[in-house]
Amino acid sequence: MPTYDFDLFTIGAGSGGVAASRRAASYGARVAVCESSRVGGTCVIRGCVPKKLLMYGGQYRDAFEDAPGYGWTVAAPAFDWPTLLERKNREIDRLNGIYLSMLEKSGVALMRGHGRIVDPHTVEVGGRRHTARHILVATGGHAVRPSIPGIDCSITSDEALELKELPKSLIIIGGGYIAVEFASIFNAMGVEITMLVRGEELLTGFDDDARVTLAQEMRKRGITIHARTQPARLEDGAGGVSVYATNGQVFCAQMVMAATGRRPNTHGLGLEEVGVSLDKLGGVRVDRQSRTAVESIHAVGDVTDRVALTPVAIAEGRAVAEGLFNRNLVSVNYDNIPTAVFSTPPVGSVGLTERQARVLARDEGGAVDIYRTSFRPMKHTLSGRDERVMMKLVVDRVSDRVLGCHMVGMDSPEIIQGLAIALNCGATKAQFDRTIALHPSTAEEFVLLREKVPDPEGEVV
């Protein structure tokens, strides 16, 4: 048998790579991981964690505004962006240290530098080659800008997390979760926000009622949203940046942020040269066990052609380690994965959207029942804030099984996490109905929904 330097060599020390490396090492495997940036990956360093810390910072504006309704006399608040930025960076440094410590305590060798696969069992880092029985690609993704003239004068989410000072006005190109989250964050901090959205509404792929509700609530907060607006070019001038749209409109702001998606980090890894297949966006093609077209090479997380969520990357990484080093063949369950958008108000979703469920029912000769409510939450009866909650259940009419739960409003991510368990257990609408409500709460409405929404006229498209 051939002798290798390592049993597993992981390229990328983000959530998926670290999870796989530590699990493999716990089974006695000799493991190395290389990283060209900070350990922790997108989520910890430049994604979920820092973004949510900034979101928490923005929430204090609402708290100050709502306080008088509850009898609190509050002096005029003053916000200092550099203070929040420094505290955020300090927390990221702490988490980076924890990740480094976890690797060290697990016995995983950390190598600094860009990894490139030379052959199915060899990785080159900094000019030095290392052999491994198995190679795991876990390099995540990166923010991309649209390919239009002048786009280089825009920033991405990476730079938005490190701004030395806030702009007075900001145009955000895009309507996905990154766009709406940063729009909410900077709006709360007093920045004038204009969003240019290519489609009909925000958050393509989410339930339509959630999309419409979020747009309504964001507009109430002073965010300007232009739907069906496609930028054609950007021009940087003395007064700021101008965005020229294909419909002839011109938008101007002090700064422009491109939030049009992310792409897998596969460039320069040598993947195709050794036979690994990539999709049209550069994502690594893998099977249910995260195996690539090359037997010794696996891939997990955002670098693949699957679900780009941190908990999914962790589950995939651990599953790879289980299969390779514990003789435990594990397949990650991609059904009913809960998703949250930390906008203001936030969005929580799990299962099928109404549109997806109706299309599936049409194809299978079934039918769908929809239960939906919208109301002013109890908190705002005294605060006076004009903000509503939308909650929705998608139910299979024949089996009575709940297929999807969707919510826009305070605490929706926390509530949807619990409902995801119910959906994965195959809960029915009757079981929801038999559950005693926790009163008074917003979450109780999910077990109190009784009135069906009338079926739509015409065919679902």
pLDDT tens column, 184-238 = 999 999 999 999 999 999 999 999 999 999 999 999 999 999 999 999 999 998 8
- Is-catalytic flag, 439? yes
Q: Where are the alpha helices (DSSP H) in 151-229?
A: 157-160, 177-188, 208-220
Averaged pLDDT score across all residues of the chain: 96
pLDDT interval class at 128 (50, 70, 90): very high
Q: What is the mean pLDDT of residues 63-82?
A: 94
Q: For 264-295, how does the pLDDT look when each residue is reduced to its tens digit (9 = 90+)?
A: 999 999 999 999 999 999 999 999 999 999 99
- The whole-angstrom separation of Cα 368 and Cα 433 is 17
- Tell me, what's the pLDDT at 458? 66
Q: Which tens digits make up the pLDDT trace of 12-27?
A: 999 999 999 999 999 9
Domains and CATH numbers, the chain: 6-142+263-325 (3.50.50.60), 151-260 (3.50.50.60), 339-453 (3.30.390.30)
Quickly state the pLDDT bin for 1 (edges 50, 70, 90): low
Output the furthest CA–CA distance in the chain (Å, rounded): 76
How many Cβ atoms from other residues are within 10 Å of residue 19's Cβ?
A: 26
> H/E/C letters for each residue in 228-255?
CCCEEEEEEECCEEEEEECCCCEEEECE
pLDDT at 461 over 60: no
Position 460 confidence tier, pLDDT thresholds 50, 70, 90: low
pLDDT exceeds cutoff 80 at 457 = no
- Percentage with pLDDT > 90 across the chain: 95
pLDDT at 239: 85
In 282-363, the DSSP E strands lie at: 297-299, 339-341, 347-351
Choosing from 121, 226, 267, 439, the catalytic residue is 439
